Amino acid sequence: MDQEAAPSVRSNIAKLYALEITGQLGLVVPIIIPFYGLNGLGLREALLLEAIFSLIIVILEIPSGYLSDRWGRQRTIVVGSLCIFLGVLLYCLGTAFSAFLIGEIFWAIGASFHSGTIEALTYDTLLELKEEHQYRRVYGQQRFLFFAAEAAVATTAGFFASGNMRLPFWITLGFIGSTVLISLTLIEPQRHKKQETRHIKALVDVCCQTMRMAPLRSIIMLYGFIGLLTLSLFWFTQPYQIEVGLPVEMFGITHAAIVIAGALAAKFTHSISRIVDDRLFLITIAALVIMSYIALGMVSAMWGLVFFLIGRMAWGCLSPLVSDIINRMTRSEVRATVLSTQMFFSRLLFASFAPFWGYLADFYSLRTAIVAAGALGTVTIVSTLLAMRRVWAKIPR
């Protein structure tokens, strides 16, 4: 490594921390369902928009990771930040489903360009600094800062929205504008790049090789099934709050509490994993998510919100844990593509089932949707964990 380059490459860590803080959506997430309602959309339309968002990510997730591996991490993050900025701008100005749909498309393009690339840039930076063993701690800190910043601003979301439901989006636009500026200053680490001219074949080869590796495939599948439940739980939160009679002004407060719990879980994942075997850690995370669904299937009261908090804590631990395992199982020249494959599977599952959850909630009840999601998730997670017994010894710890 060039000794003169080290300080500039090291600056990526602080910049990526800053990117997590400015890239949060804490002002809009807690009030998005009431915002849709004000513009004439029900839960079915809201989940349809989110399913389309996930579908766009499914389509672009792996190609964007491949682009990051070939074109560069920094350039990919810049383009992603610009697309998210345009998506938020359309929400600021839009008043109909069509405007929000276009906004979701831009937002999804940006999210897919960030997904996998930020993690790969973090790991490659640490690899160049010969500090890759610190990845779980650094990535956990990134997640902590993201969620802590989201929680901090979320406490004011309900109050801003009570005066003007669109104001949180305009404030968020300023935050996202900062991510564009920060991403322009990131430094591309030195790394080996595969020279390819047949890009589609190379992309397909990486995906096929990834799915042929049983240990890597099992980790991706487990993340996908748990991710389906945790992301669905996120979208059930606001309808649940409405159902139990929580005032809209309090949505930001409860969202902040749930998010900060996830942030703390992400921050201390590194410390927990030093004393707990990864297998036991993954089983515990899965058990907490399943337990939350079982409880919510039986409870419809204000105190039931604690199970959304538990679910977020489980997901807060899952992301840095699985990301670190996958990073250690892949090479630099394909790392972003493989990480994108992980997110691809999770988003594909959500895009497939989210409209069904919305249909059940609108035509039957929210509890029916929660029970259906929990039942499906429990069967798939338990089956995957049982199947992983044959390959666990091949997964790095």
Give the rounded distance of the alpha carbon of 357 from its chain centre: 19
Q: Give the Å distances, CA to CA, from 205 to 94, 144, 202, 208, 222.
A: 41, 35, 5, 5, 22
Predicted confidence at residue 322, as pLDDT, reads: 85
The stretch 274-303 carries a mean pLDDT of 89
The tens digit of pLDDT for each residue in 197-226 reads 444 565 566 566 666 667 778 888 898 999
Q: What's the CATH fold of domain 5-187+197-394?
A: Growth Hormone; Chain: A; (1.20.1250)
DSSP conformational letter for 301: S
- Rounded Cα distance, 79 and 112, in Å: 10
DSSP conformational letter for 94: -
Predicted confidence at residue 330, as pLDDT, reads: 74
The stretch 13-18 carries a mean pLDDT of 92
The tens digit of pLDDT for each residue in 147-159 reads 788 878 877 777 7
Where would I find the H helices in the chain?
A: 5-22, 32-38, 43-71, 73-93, 97-114, 117-128, 135-154, 157-163, 167-183, 199-212, 214-243, 251-267, 269-275, 278-296, 305-328, 335-363, 366-387
Amino acid at 352: S
Predicted confidence at residue 192, as pLDDT, reads: 46
Percentage above 70 pLDDT, the chain: 89
Mean pLDDT of the chain: 83
The tens digit of pLDDT for each residue in 33-90 reads 888 888 888 878 888 888 888 888 878 877 777 778 778 888 999 999 999 999 999 9
Q: Above 60 in pLDDT, residue 1?
A: no
- Rounded Cα distance, 216 and 213, in Å: 5
Where would I find the H helices in 72-166?
A: 73-93, 97-114, 117-128, 135-154, 157-163
Which of 116, 113, 78 lies closest to 341, judged by CA?
116
Q: Give the Å distances, CA to CA, from 312 to 13, 136, 175.
A: 25, 18, 23
Question: Are 75 and 65 a contacting pair, CB within 8 Å?
Answer: no
DSSP 179-200: HHHHHTT--PPP------S-HH
The stretch 104-127 carries a mean pLDDT of 87
Domain ranges of the chain: 5-187+197-394
Of the spans 231-235, 360-364, 370-374, which averages the highest pLDDT? Answer: 370-374
pLDDT band at 196 (very low <50, low <70, confident <90, very high): very low
The tens digit of pLDDT for each residue in 334-360 reads 666 777 777 778 878 888 888 888 888
pTM summary value: 0.69
